[in-house]
Structure 1
Amino acid sequence: MTLLNLKLAIRSLLKNKFYSILIIGGFSIGFASCILIGLYYNSEHSVNKDFANYKQIYRLYDKGEKDFDLDYELFPVLAENYPEIEIACPVNYLSGFEISVVDKQTHTDTRVDNIISTNNNFFQIFQPQIISSLSADLFSGHNSVVITETVARRMYGDKNPVGQSLTIFNYLEATITAVIKELPENSTFKAEILLNSENEDFRLSKACNNGICVFLTHHFLLLRKGTEVNKFSARLQQTINNYDFELKDPELQNLSAIYLSSLSQYDTHSKGNSKMLTIFLFIGVLILALSSINYLNYVVSIQYSKLKETGINKTVGAGWRQLVAYSVTEVATGILISVIFSFLLAILLLPTTGTLFGKQLHIHTLDFLKIIPFFMGIVFIIILVNSLAPVYLVSRFNITDFLSGSRKRRGKQVSKQITLTFQLTASIALIAVVLVIFKQLGYVKHFDLGFNEERLVKIDLPFNNPNLPALKQETEKLSFVKSNTLSFGCPGMINNTMGSNTGENSFDINCIFIDDDFVRTMEIELLEGRQFLDGDKGKACIINEEAYKQYGWENLEGKRFNNRIEGGYEVIGLAQNFNVKSLHQTIEPAVLLYDTQKGQYNVLSVRLAAGNTGQQLKQIRNIWDELIPDETMNVTFYDDQFQAMYVKEEKLGKAISFFSLIAVVLTCMGILGQIFLISLNRSKEIGVRKVNGAKVSEILILLNKDFTLYVFIAFVIASPVAWVAMNKWLESFAYKTSLNWWIFALAGVLALGIALLTVSWQSWRAATRNPVEALRYE
């Protein structure tokens, strides 16, 4: 019997080829999209979970200050005074700019993007695979450095590099004492070079306030099994400041929570966007719902078209169980065919996920034991829901009504009206979401950064090189160089922060050490005060508006930035606010210090005149090769640097647009299916109207007017929903675009145009059809 039902189900699908291809094809595309979104969602939630003990690893932070950079001296206190902690380690992680690594003996060099300062406890907590080492302790000396296998191959090929000496940042001398495998690909921090933080020179971050300087680092804790995290966290809050530390609200963050935490925007770990991920999940659910609705409408329509067949089967003795079994088999067959195509399509599209999501998904990294049961559960629910319609219709079928010719289809019409309105609501909301996302991305890309970033080039410099002043002088002689400047730090790359030294109301200030051409080259507007003079070197600074505001000053007369040197720096100027970080964060206090010793620069900023940029950079590179032949010149345009801060949002925005388009297409397929059936069911009515003189335009209005009403209802529902969702998403930006009314109006107009365009094709066919064909047998 099951085999017979299967044959009949396949025959039924083949009988309605156009409708079957339309719905099954649409469901396949929709479910494939859901699979890809599900895989991406699972991948984002799996970050940092490849570490063996990730459930027991926590990071300490100050919740009150939203600060993870804490005093290095916390490490021994945590390790010695809290038995709940099995192992603790400091981890200072730097990324985002290239770091020079040179072996002076072999004359080989490379650049790395990720460097960690830590101690031997790191290797016990995170357990990387060891390739080779001098001793059981990977850091076996004060000047120890551990490198990854990739760096070792780049610099030494197949030779064992253990024992070789490296120069890092052009001034740190270190000996390779171990080689390890790379940390897991899906971790929030990478490590190409690891420095022994027991050496103070190898600690990568330092802050000074009120004349007191501390080394800053993150603190990771491996808690003992059975530790109640909430109780331990409460104990930390009560006792940690007994050891002369000033943490406002110490809290613990699990390793797996770092990536998607809203706090993550304040640290150096790679970051995910939980709100963007929620939008993805929402779109995936919508696509699944739209696909299921289309299929459900298809099932209902097929069942109503088979009432005559059902009546005949009941007349000749078919039982309720047999009718239900056939209907469920027919539903399940179509869905399973769709699911098979979906999985094949998803596998074919996996190589494109790097472009689609900005993150490549690989089959070998997927946890199929978790994923497959989840998707199979969804398939079972879809089959179950779609099977309820035929089961309901068969259970309500009355042989007497069939024989008397009675039909009650009101419930069918109401359900189709509701589902169509839902589909249109989803489409309008998604169109509005896409419009808002790209409006915001356009806003941040063209936001006034407070300096002129056009044709402004950033060249990374080797630290402490004696030829840097000569590089600036020779570059400045080039005819196309309007101006240039040396600095330690720059907008988008802050290497130093200091306290304001204002007692209890102290705040952190981003510090950039500059020469006298910085303000002119960056084209930062001075609102008050003057430019630097020769006699100001080592004595004067310029602050931005935000620093001025937080100091609470009314004028600059006699004001000083009291830090770093005895007596502080005289504040000689007030600059307009300029961005030093992305627009995810508010403008922060900044100070330009005219105080850098010769050679202690890490950036050369060059403003180019209009012209052939490639040739201009080539001439600058020639000067570089003469003065600094042992280093590679790395060039970045400031506008590219700041736009790169939103690359992930831009890629995800495009992905959301792609999947939103699929959702809109699925809505169109549902509308097309409905107008197809409406035209079919009302063919005799249309024939009668045409015989009685109705015009084609009148027939088109008759068939299309209901869809216009549904679009209007959907617009009323979708607009507030989309507004709330986008307002929530925009909260992740400190500077955001406005949610104008025209965005939602445009979404409604586009949805109306798409719906009418979809409907009109089939409506026109029905309206221009010869009425004789519909009425010949009447």
Structure 2
Amino acid sequence: MVHELKTDQFNKNKNQIARILQKYDDRFDQIIPTIVAPTLKANDPSVLNFVRYTKEFLPEPVTVHKEGVTGNEPGILYADQSLFDVFSFPIVLGDISEFDQTPNALVISERSARKYFGQENPIGQQLTFDLYTDNMKKSPKQFQVAAVMKNIPSTSTIQADFVMNLDGKTSNHWGAGRVESFLLLSPNAIREEVETNIAETYFANYGNKFNSKPDYDEWKLQPLTDIHFHSEYVTGGSMGSLVFIKVLTIISVLILSVALLNYILLNSSLSLKYFKTQKILSFNGAGKRDVFINEIIYTLLQMLLALFLAAPLAQFIHQHFGEYLGNNHQFILYDYPLQLFLILGSALILGSIAAWLLERLLSGTLHRMQHKSVNLKSRQSMGAYFIVGQIIVFTALLMSSFVLVKQMNYIQEKDPGCDLNNTQSFAIRETDLSRIAAIKQELLKSPFITNFSHGVPLPVGGENMEEVKVENNPKESISAILLQEDPEFVEVYNIPLLAGRNLDPNKQPKSFDDFFKVRNSPIEVLVNESFAEKMNQKNVLGTILRGHGFQHGVIVGVVDDFHSESYYNPIKPTVLAYHMSRVTGSYSIKYKEGHLVEACKHLKTVYDEFYPDSFLYQWHYDQSEAYGKDIRRTKLISGLTIVTILISVLGLIGWSILATEGKTKEIGIRKVNGAKVSEILTMLNRDFVRWVTIASIVATPIAYYVMTKWLENFAYKTTLSWWIFALAGVLALGIALLTVSWQSWRAATRNPVEALRYE
């Protein structure tokens, strides 16, 4: 949680750094032309500096060689020299003054310097990288280390151990060169004015030359400190969740409060065992101050011992904590002295509060003891309030955990309207469609591969929406997803055809150039059921559509609705066509169930035959990965619920001690008068049942409200069934009864003579 909140906060210029975003249809994109940022710096005095960067886009690590030492590094960063001026990435060794002018210059991190050069000075030495050319050919390239930078903090949005300059990756064309760009603004800069300047500059240099009505003229500057938590409108979305941080904070405070109250309750209960000791101290002149000093020393010693034992336990738990957050975070207790100091300070403060409350309780008890009027009803009432509060907490968490698990199961079991199983996607940079046909023929020779499709694979992961005009209603447009797909697409993903027919393979482009030719006749398109409903026509077949992605198309078929995106989003109107004004380099194969390994092996063999020594970029849809963040958070909250229950159990034990000690003589009298053990157990447990029932009634609307808000994030969600809350209440009651029954049984089976011998 601390790691999330510290993201990008270490940058000294954090409040002046902003990322440039360009709007495409319904969302903003952080990848923009390389010429934008330097042009702004040249003509806008409020722009002090800029930095552009891009990454080596490969799913596999880049291989690095150095005299027998070989490593696989997770990506390379290409950036301007100003990266080290705009961001707080200090250079600790070497010189970067000529970084931009040196094509093979390289800056490495301290950890990489130790890894590849040990104790040697790395400045001026060579490292060899196995990079890929534009046609995906592996090409070894040597770089010379110019400088060593301090390890970039794990709390940085930008991560890299190797930085190369942007040589060869920039362009002066306003429609080419795609990088992420950041501006360093002057302290008094007005972001809205800079955004207007970007739009005007872009339109003057590109929009009015190539678009009579520019579609991409909206720009935005996103503050660096907003990127981690507030990028829901940006392609790729937010990396962090403030809602989740708030939920964790509330749960942590509740757990801490429950633990503190239980500590007081347990110590208060245990103090009853030492009445004689306290009475002797009181009769020998011990006053409130002495009691307070004894209690605070005792409490602080307990706190320090607990911290000593908790540190290695926290270290052990932390090794598995990254699994739930999806990242490998540092263990802050040892790495950040300030946090350690705050933890120790908090322990001392909480210990002092606990000692003060105990002193008040004990001094009142001693006063009543001296006057022979010891009455534990007030303590029992106080304990009852404590117990009800914590039962409300863990019952609400228990209910919430049930809903979280139910929703995750619902997502994983929901029918997406298409078959995402047994599909493998891959990418090829190929402009010769005859070679694609030959690759398809070779792939289908495998007994494990049943079909092949050239088109955008599912799920699309946030495809942009485009406005599509309907010929017989030109004033209205339908916002739809355009998917470039061939006729085999519906077969690979098993999408039912509801009306009409599939795309005709004989009418598809025969060459790469055909995609971009001006067409005199409409192309064939498919639409999904949602699109057809938006048209408000009885028969949509044969209707002409016009869109930006295609000049005009005729609807030849209607397919069933299918989830092209995640369940966070509703199914949107969708147009499927192959002959568009663009071409995708993505492909998908359908393989026999259980034969993914064999299919991928054959795919790699065929690829190597056509593109030797080239990298095959392939991926496989995994639903557990697609919703991994929510699944991990569900596990985390479920784990915290268990912790809360365990802490509450300790509180129940303390209250049961209070309750049974206060009724010891009553139990003895009842047993002497013939009361059965079951009757005494009923008497002792009656209060527990009442308090748990009250806690469940209070917890239910709280959990219902919180879960309703959380489920609003999903377009498709499970129902909040009544049995979830009833089951949680029954479990809370069962846990409470099992916890207190042992103490109640001991009290009920005790020899009554022990309770009445001094009466």
Tell me if both proteins adopt one fold, taking TM over 0.5 as the criterion: yes
CA distance in 2, matches of 1:544, 1:152: 55
Aligned to 1:745: 726
The structure 1 residue matched to 2:226, chosen from 245, 251, 257, is 257
Aligned to 2:210: none
The structure 1 residue matched to 2:16, chosen from 40, 45, 56, is 56
The Cα of 1:751 is off from its aligned counterpart by 0.7
CA distance in 1, matches of 2:299, 2:392: 26
2:408 match: secondary structure? helix
The Cα of 1:579 is off from its aligned counterpart by 3.0
The structure 2 residue matched to 1:583, chosen from 555, 559, 567, is 567
Aligned to 1:718: 699
The Cα of 1:282 is off from its aligned counterpart by 2.0
CA distance in 1, matches of 2:256, 2:502: 62
The structure 2 residue matched to 1:98, chosen from 38, 54, 59, is 59
2:634 match: secondary structure? helix
Amino acid at match of 2:329: L
Whether 1:518 aligns to 2:484 is: no
CA distance in 2, matches of 1:676, 1:281: 32
Aligned to 1:670: 651
The Cα of 1:449 is off from its aligned counterpart by 2.4
1:58 match: secondary structure? strand
2:701 match: secondary structure? helix
Aligned to 1:330: 298
Aligned to 2:191: 233
Aligned to 1:160: 126
The Cα of 1:701 is off from its aligned counterpart by 0.9
The Cα of 1:260 is off from its aligned counterpart by 2.0
Whether 1:185 aligns to 2:154 is: yes
Do the aligned partners of 2:262 and 2:651 also contact (CA within 8 Å) in 1? yes
The structure 1 residue matched to 2:380, chosen from 410, 413, 428, is 413
The Cα of 1:310 is off from its aligned counterpart by 4.0
CA distance in 1, matches of 2:360, 2:117: 72
Amino acid at match of 2:395: I
Aligned to 2:401: 434
Amino acid at match of 1:67: F
TM-score of the two chains, using structure 2 as the length reference: 0.80
CA distance in 2, matches of 1:541, 1:100: 39
Alignment of 1:33-48 (within 5 A): 41-48=1-8
Alignment of 1:226-625 (within 5 A): 227-228=187-188, 232-236=190-194, 242-243=200-201, 252-261=221-230, 263-264=231-232, 266-268=234-236, 271-306=239-274, 308-363=276-331, 368-393=336-361, 396=364, 401-461=368-428, 467-487=435-455, 489-493=456-460, 499-500=466-467, 510-538=481-509, 539-545=523-529, 555-564=540-549, 567-595=551-579, 602-610=585-593, 612-625=595-608
CA distance in 2, matches of 1:242, 1:535: 45
The Cα of 1:499 is off from its aligned counterpart by 4.1
The Cα of 1:42 is off from its aligned counterpart by 0.6
Do the aligned partners of 1:463 and 1:601 also contact (CA within 8 Å) in 2? no
Unpaired runs of 5+ in structure 1? 1-40, 104-108, 207-212
The Cα of 1:167 is off from its aligned counterpart by 0.4
The Cα of 1:303 is off from its aligned counterpart by 4.4
Amino acid at match of 2:4: E
Once structures 1 and 2 are overlaid, which stretch shifts more, 662-671 or 436-445?
436-445
Whether 1:67 aligns to 2:28 is: yes
CA distance in 2, matches of 1:421, 1:492: 47
Aligned to 2:738: 757
Whether 1:126 aligns to 2:87 is: yes
Do the aligned partners of 2:500 and 2:556 also contact (CA within 8 Å) in 1? yes
Whether 1:170 aligns to 2:136 is: yes
Aligned to 2:207: none
CA distance in 2, matches of 1:561, 1:774: 92
Q: Deviations over 1:651-706 (max 9, x none)?
A: 22212212210110111121122223433443332222222221222111111111
CA distance in 2, matches of 1:584, 1:578: 14
The Cα of 1:362 is off from its aligned counterpart by 2.8
Amino acid at match of 1:259: H
Q: Deviations over 1:42-70 (max 9, x none)?
A: 11112233545334312245799652447
Aligned to 1:767: 748
The Cα of 1:411 is off from its aligned counterpart by 2.7
Once structures 1 and 2 are overlaid, which stretch shifts more, 684-693 or 401-410?
401-410
Whether 1:86 aligns to 2:69 is: no
Do the aligned partners of 1:46 and 1:256 also contact (CA within 8 Å) in 2? no
Q: Cα 1:504–1:722, aligned 2, differ >3 Å: closer, same or farther?
A: farther
CA distance in 1, matches of 2:266, 2:697: 27
Q: Cα 1:727–1:494, aligned 2, differ >3 Å: closer, same or farther?
A: closer
Q: Cα 1:467–1:625, aligned 2, differ >3 Å: closer, same or farther?
A: same
CA distance in 2, matches of 1:266, 1:160: 38
CA distance in 2, matches of 1:88, 1:551: 47
2:576 match: secondary structure? strand
2:659 match: secondary structure? helix
Do the aligned partners of 1:540 and 1:569 also contact (CA within 8 Å) in 2? yes
The Cα of 1:578 is off from its aligned counterpart by 3.0
CA distance in 2, matches of 1:338, 1:155: 42
The structure 2 residue matched to 1:661, chosen from 604, 625, 642, is 642
Q: Cα 1:147–1:531, aligned 2, differ >3 Å: closer, same or farther?
A: farther
| Structure that is richer in helix per residue | 1
Q: Deviations over 1:253-291 (max 9, x none)?
A: 332331122x34743377122222222222221221121
1:379 match: secondary structure? helix
2:495 match: secondary structure? coil
The Cα of 1:294 is off from its aligned counterpart by 1.2
Q: Cα 1:346–1:175, aligned 2, differ >3 Å: closer, same or farther?
A: closer
Do the aligned partners of 2:27 and 2:233 also contact (CA within 8 Å) in 1? no
CA distance in 2, matches of 1:691, 1:737: 56
Q: Cα 1:773–1:495, aligned 2, differ >3 Å: closer, same or farther?
A: closer
CA distance in 2, matches of 1:495, 1:629: 33
Q: Deviations over 1:407-444 (max 9, x none)?
A: 24333222111100011111101111211111121222
Amino acid at match of 1:434: S
Q: Cα 1:517–1:372, aligned 2, differ >3 Å: closer, same or farther?
A: same
2:59 match: secondary structure? strand
Whether 1:690 aligns to 2:658 is: no
The Cα of 1:708 is off from its aligned counterpart by 0.8
Q: Cα 1:624–1:86, aligned 2, differ >3 Å: closer, same or farther?
A: same
- Amino-acid identity (%): 27
Amino acid at match of 1:525: P
Amino acid at match of 2:374: R
TM-score of the two chains, using structure 1 as the length reference: 0.78
Q: Cα 1:156–1:411, aligned 2, differ >3 Å: closer, same or farther?
A: closer
CA distance in 2, matches of 1:551, 1:75: 42
Aligned length: 714
The Cα of 1:605 is off from its aligned counterpart by 1.9
2:719 match: secondary structure? coil
Q: Cα 1:60–1:697, aligned 2, differ >3 Å: closer, same or farther?
A: same
Q: Deviations over 1:724-756 (max 9, x none)?
A: 222222333333322222221111111111111
Amino acid at match of 1:233: R
CA distance in 2, matches of 1:461, 1:172: 14
Q: Deviations over 1:225-251 (max 9, x none)?
A: xx146xx13444676655576899865
Give the alignment's Cα RMSD to 1 decimal.
4.5
Do the aligned partners of 1:303 and 1:390 also contact (CA within 8 Å) in 2? no
Q: Cα 1:454–1:517, aligned 2, differ >3 Å: closer, same or farther?
A: same
